[in-house]
Homo-oligomer: A and B are copies of this chain.
Amino acid sequence: MTMRESDLDRVKALPLFSKTSPEVFRDVTGGAFLQRFPAGTTLMMEGDTVDFLYVLLDGMVELQGSWKEKETTLALLRPVSTFILAAVVLDADALMSARTLERSEILMLSGEALRRVMRQDADFSFAVAQELSGCYRGLVRAVKNQKLRGGVERLANYLVTQRIRQDLIETIVLPHEKRVLASLLGMTPENLSRAFASLAKYGVVVRGGEVTLNRPDALERLARPSPLIDNHMPPADGVVGKAESERWSSATGRSCGYVSS
């Protein structure tokens, strides 16, 4: 419930808020409160009405959708990320469930306050529109990834993307359990296992959560990554500068949904 000053600073640093005036920022974060959740907590179920904009400050959150006893992971979030922004803007019910994968700290901002401020402040509204645009494009990438690529190709591209995001080191570390990764990539855990095995001939060696890419060039020829599908994060998270391509955090959907790859 108590909130460190540094927490608010990290929220202010989000693209969504980085350019808002101090007054507006105070208005939006006014009634906010911080909550701590253990791993495996369901924060929200599909269909629930949404009263808050969530901001993940620490830990990890999975967004998932379900139908007929089946579940699938739609996005994996790491700090600092917002989620369910679209539902908040429309004051609609959630289309995804959210649950913590680790012990997490989450800031909850009043949705009603957010909408009120949006109507008053064009710059903030514009920032929200930019954020949503980035999220939208993240999902377009996800749909293309899902419909145009087979399972092995999705995994190969995931590995290529991770390699870039982890600074081109040769042995990358999977940031989540394999069964979660499988669900994100749209396959069963068994199939992911076999997909890894079938990448052995491209120099991919798996030891637990560590994956060594001995022939990144060969893997990349198989993966055929495309800037129109894959969002290769800039290695350093420093200056993002221009929105020339688009703002990174939105682009990846780091704030709205890490979404595929």
Contacts and interface: CB of A to CB of B under 8 A. Distances in A.
Interface of A: 46-47, 65-68, 70, 72, 74, 85-87, 89-93, 95-96, 115, 118-123, 125-126, 128-130, 132-137, 139-144, 146-149, 186, 224, 226-229, 243-247, 250, 256
Contacts of A256: 136
Nearest to A187: B147
A186 B85 CA distance: 28
Nearest to A85: B133
Contacts of A137: 86-87, 90, 92, 95
Nearest to A132: B132
A135 B226 CA distance: 23
Contacts of A244: 91-92
Contact of A90 (B65, B96, B118, B246): B246
B122 A120 contact: yes
A148 B72 contact: yes
A240 to B, nearest CB: 13
Contacts of A140: 65, 74, 86, 95-96, 139
A244 to B, nearest CB: 7
Given A121-B122, A129-B128, A133-B132, A228 B90 contact: no
Contact of A224 (B68, B74, B96): B68
A194 to B, nearest CB: 19
* Interface core residue of A136, A148, A227 (most chain B CB under 10 Å): A136
